[in-house]
A and B are shown apart, each in its own frame.
Chain A
Amino acid sequence: DSGVTQTPKHLITATGQRVTLRCSPRSGDLSVYWYQQSLDQGLQFLIQYYNGEERAKGNILERFSAQQFPDLHSELNLSSLELGDSALYFCASSHSRGGANTGELFFGEGSRLTVL
């Protein structure tokens, strides 16, 4: 158990719909990262937050948005869903910004999104 909690574990929805994925980082971790992993694909970095502020942005679609709240949990919002958005969405957390120490990421179990 990494200490990172993601909900829901599974989600099935239709094209055009909107969903929200939630992540609670490990206790004390200030950074939250979102990754997308499509079937048999690598992890694609979406976005990072550090202590409530956006820190780095990857190939995140404009239809997707995220935020980190004062209690450090984070939400990833996916809207106008398309079939190609079906994937595992992982949240990871680390204590640091990613520079001073190892910066190892601890991953949650992921949210599997299926768009029909």
Chain B
Amino acid sequence: GQNIDQPTEMTATEGAIVQINCTYQTSGFNGLFWYQQHAGEAPTFLSYNVLDGLEEKGRFSSFLSRSKGYSYLLLKELQMKDSASYLCAVRDNNAGNMLTFGGGTRLMVKP
């Protein structure tokens, strides 16, 4: 099975930087995804890491360390619209390559 842990809630200030961590345990790691989900809406894809290192995409960056089973999502220049849940998901090739999601981190951006 898989175990994916991320903080339940975080609060940050508009314009600031926030880092959302995710740790995982999986037997057949085959990629890590970050999704954003506004309340009651569909998750939307943010980033994908399969090799160690940092992937940057505009204000959002995602980092992966496979040896540590660790990833983070970095959000810069926070905007009010970034208030949402951020879901870490791991793909396991020993589980049919399906995506297993963590419980999500609810981020509240305050003025």
Contacts and interface: CB of A to CB of B under 8 A. Distances in A.
Interface string B95-111: 11111111110000000
A43 B87 contact: yes
Given A43-B87, A107-B43, A109-B42, A99 B98 contact: no
A99 B42 contact: no
Size band of the B side of the interface? 20 to 34
Interface residues of A, number: 27
Given A99-B93, A107-B43, A58 B103 contact: no
A109 B41 contact: yes
Choose among B33, B89, B97 the residue with the greatest number of A CB atoms under 10 Å from its CB: B97
Nearest to A2: B42
B85 to A, nearest CB: 9
A104 B43 contact: no
A2 B45 CA distance: 10
Contacts of B48: 102, 104
Given A43-B87, A103-B91, A109-B41, A56 B104 contact: no
B44 interface: yes
B102 to A, nearest CB: 6
Nearest to A108: B42
Interface of A: 2, 33, 35, 41-45, 48, 55-56, 58, 88, 90, 97-99, 102-110, 112
